[in-house]
Structure 1
Amino acid sequence: MTDARPDETETLAAELLPLALEAARRAGELLRDGRPDDLTVAATKSSPIDVVTEMDIAAEKLITGHLAEHRPDDGFLGEEGASSAGSSGVRWVIDPLDGTVNYLYGLPTWSVSIAAERDGETLVGVVAIPMRGETFRAVRGGGAFLGDRPVRCRPAPPLERALVSTGFNYVTTVRAHQAEIARRLIPQLRDIRRGGSAAIDLCDVAAGRLDGYYERGLHPWDLAAGDLIAREAGALTGGRPGTRPGFDLTVAATPGVFEPLQSLLDDYGAWHD
């Protein structure tokens, strides 16, 4: 890993953020305004009900094309196949349509998630939620914003009054185990929500609309931007105790809820199938 001076990092982030915002805006407009009435499944991922539509693919091409036009030496990691190492040390981590099944059914809970990393650390995160008319953004060390308004996570309630969101895998056997975790967790909380977009759930923790969120099975493109936004809004994030958020487990919550929620999830085995 190469060290960079703070002013160099700030200068780089100031260059990357407008590019991410513009790419997310364009992709969001394409998805919102270009959704065909006869939208169909183009491919499947983990199971026949974990789908890719033609619009996922089109949105990723739009995003990578815009970013590559301005920064041709950067790398890419995209959910729908964009993958290149690049030579600049910057990698864009892209989910062009987080919440594809919601989008397929005409539900509004879907988003465009774009993050920029350098040396494994996320510098910039943008999550656009077109059907809400909202765009969340964060720069590492610079706070989190909804549009131009700073956002902060909620003051911590007792765990039994915490509203927590989660997500479920599309593989039936995995989902059954996750449902059992939720069944054991519900009596410990105010309630559980299931929105269908990890990026939106993380942003809703940042904005104080949720006290916490957890999920197993997230990929880097699912969480990179939302994780930064949640942390910059004052939330704590992690995986199993002592680890970073990742595929095994992602937990994000307001301080005071994070540790007891993480502990319960670890005890219940939420980190394995």
Structure 2
Amino acid sequence: MWSHGVVGAIEPDPAVLTEVAARVAAEAADLVRTARADISAGRGVAVDTKTSDTDVVTAVDHDSERFVRRRLAELRPGDPVLGEEGGGEVGTESAEGSAAVTWVVDPIDGTVNFLYGFPVFAVSVAAQVGGVSVAGAVVEPVSGRRWTATRGAGAWLDGEPLRVSRPAGLDQALLATGFAYQVRRRARQARLMAGVLEHVRDIRRAGAASLDLCAVAAGWHDAYFEHGLNRWDWAAGALIAAEAGAVVSLPGEDPQLGADATLAASPAVASALRAVLVDCGAADV
């Protein structure tokens, strides 16, 4: 039951935090799904831009984040929230010196897909302690799929445990990636992927980092690599991938891949893929 250990709970129990993340993400996904149906019915949506003319944010992004913040305030009063649209900071320690929980929220990951009606977008909610994800959920509004993970306890898709793939070699690996909104960086990323392409089975680009990371967890992709992700892009998805057995490197952890690079890969190809990325100039992207 959702109510057990949730309302009024303040202790950083990862299992309880996963329950909260899954509940709030699912509720926000219902809001997003309803809004998408309204758009499909011709009722439209207000759209603005952020870092470039192609980096969009909709009124639904803001509505979803406001909803998530309100629900977290009810279920986890006092916990800070870092959201893509509303900002915030990552907490480390509480005033009492115990580990504090910060919630990291992407109200719609894959906003361009959402705007176009391409059904690859999600709500991502993660709990972090000291900047490290300990619980997370990614919920797809269109399909209803719920991806969850608890640090040290595994990852699941709709309650079924997840394990990464075991490709025979890098040349048999399906790699997911993404591109920045800034034109010059997109061009550098494209050149990098052109070099990598000859070493892998193929490349996919779906447009939602959280779901790409979840796909690695499920074995639908063998690996995922991208520059330029923000914390809300990977906070839940990277935990889900890691708990399913993926080798994960987050921004700032591997300078040879680039200061803001994210890598998640099956252990069967992680080392080989990293070597190819380095050789192809990932650090310069």
Could you tell me the TM-score, scaled by structure 2's length? 0.87
**Gap regions ≥5 residues in structure 1:** 1-9
Matched with 2:5 is none
Matched with 2:267 is 255
Return the offset for 1:49.
0.4
Where does 1:165-184 land on structure 2 (aligned, <5 Å)?
165-184=176-195
Verify the 8 A CA contact 1:41 1:51 in the aligned structure 2.
no
- Report Cα offsets for 1:140-163 as digits up to 9, x if no partner: 000110011001001132101100
Return the offset for 1:193.
0.3
Matched with 2:277 is 265
Q: 2:64 aligns with which of 59, 66, 69?
A: 59
- Report Cα offsets for 1:166-188 as digits up to 9, x if no partner: 00111111101111111111111
Amino acid at match of 1:204: A
**Gap regions ≥5 residues in structure 2:** 1-10
Say whether residues 1:18 and 2:23 are aligned partners: no
CA gap of 1:89–1:246, structure 2 versus 1, over 3 A, is farther
- Report Cα offsets for 1:41-93 as digits up to 9, x if no partner: 53212211000000000000111110011222111110002415674711001
Matched with 2:4 is none
Name the stretch that deviates more: 235-244 or 40-49: 235-244
Verify the 8 A CA contact 1:241 1:262 in the aligned structure 2.
no
Aligned equivalents of 1:91, 1:23: Cα separation in 2: 14
Aligned equivalents of 1:105, 1:80: Cα separation in 2: 20
Verify the 8 A CA contact 2:136 2:237 in the aligned structure 1.
yes
Q: 2:128 aligns with which of 94, 117, 122?
A: 117
Matched with 2:172 is 161
Aligned equivalents of 1:246, 1:232: Cα separation in 2: 24
Amino acid at match of 1:116: A
Aligned equivalents of 2:232, 2:50: Cα separation in 1: 15
Aligned equivalents of 2:83, 2:113: Cα separation in 1: 19
Matched with 1:4 is none
Aligned equivalents of 1:139, 1:190: Cα separation in 2: 31
Q: Secondary structure at the match of 1:52?
A: strand
Say whether residues 1:127 and 2:134 are aligned partners: no
**Percent identity between the two aligned chains:** 44
Q: Secondary structure at the match of 1:218?
A: coil
Name the stretch that deviates more: 207-216 or 31-40: 31-40
Could you tell me the TM-score, scaled by structure 1's length? 0.91
Matched with 2:8 is none
